[in-house]
Amino acid sequence: MAIKHKRLGKHGVLVSNICLGTMNFGWHTSEEDSFKIMDRALELGINFFDTADVYGWDVEHGHTEEIIGRWFALGGSRREATVLATKVFNPVKRKANVAEVNSDGRSLSAYKIRKHCEGSLKRLKTDWIDIYQMHHIDRDCPWDETWQAFGSLINQGKVVYVGSSNFAGWDIATACQEASKRGMSGLVSEQSIYHLNNRMLELEVIPACRHYGLGLIPWSPLDGGLLGGALEKMETGRRKGESFEKNVAKNRDKLEKYEALCREIGHPPGEVALAWLLHNPIVTAPIIGPRTLEQLESAVRAADIVLEEEILQKLDQIFPGPGGEAPMAYAW
């Protein structure tokens, strides 16, 4: 198994072509197992870790960052070996904190960016965040304020790069143009939902990433497990839940063809779905969210899969995209 390292879009930093997502740490995966997964990820060559200030969910917002911080504190150059990304935008409600309107809402105000950055740094037990990502667009807050806040954190050495998540194509363009006016490098990455069964990014987000030199970091690359062998899991009772069953029923025709194709080429469906993303040059690293070591190992195996052009065409037939890029996808 060979993890490759590539630049994040047009930028100089080198990251692994698989990104370790940590959203399961602390509520689906124990702290002990989370430590094992992170250690094994580094052994495999995965140096790109993604988290968010709200991860930890039902246990407590920020709990996942605390787990990562305790792992960094074990030493062994763990922090130095990791390109660390976290996020700001959502409410972060902590049991020990007094309710506070600016922090408990969703925004990208300078007040919130500064305060939440300090909270993440403390929980992560680190002096800096490599990629500080806006978790969503805030169109009510002026870019003057947002970029001033990020610029201040960069000047203080607390943030190295700024990324976006869940931005529309025109949001990426606006953010980059506004940053350029201030002599800033702007966005380095966009983290968004993208997989075989949801290819809407191909209309405008991917062209925007290409134009401005952003690396694309797809989340939910297996469509919540749908592309990970859903039919087999349903038959063996390994994956249940009303919403999942409805999604399987809605997509059954496509899934039957997809899983048959995966059997034909001799690779598990989940690995094929990741390999398909890795064939797109705009994709820097799909985010995987392993709950176990085996899920981590499986994702890494996907990096070795080469999909021939004939297979890529068959996947396009099963999961057709929006027809290309805008406006040619719907006009001339």
Catalytic residues, by residue number, are 55
CB neighbours of residue 143 within 10 Å: 17
Distances (CA, A) of 227 to 138, 196, 319: 31, 8, 11
Backbone angles phi, psi at 270, to 5 degrees: -60, -40
The distance from CA 156 to its chain's CA centroid, rounded to whole angstroms, is 26
Helix (H) or strand (E) holding 5: strand 5-7
DSSP 8-state code for residue 99: P
142 Cβ neighbours under 8 A, 6+ residues apart: none
Distances (CA, A) of 101 to 98, 108, 156, 195, 264: 10, 13, 26, 36, 55
The single residue listed with the structure tokens 């994709």 is: 283
In this structure, is the dihedral angle defined by the CA atoms of residues 67, 69, 70 and 74, taken in order, positive or negative?
A: positive
Distances (CA, A) of 43 to 3, 39, 231, 295: 10, 6, 33, 15
Helix (H) or strand (E) holding 287: strand 287-288
Instruction: For residue 106, give both structure tokens.
Output: 């969703």
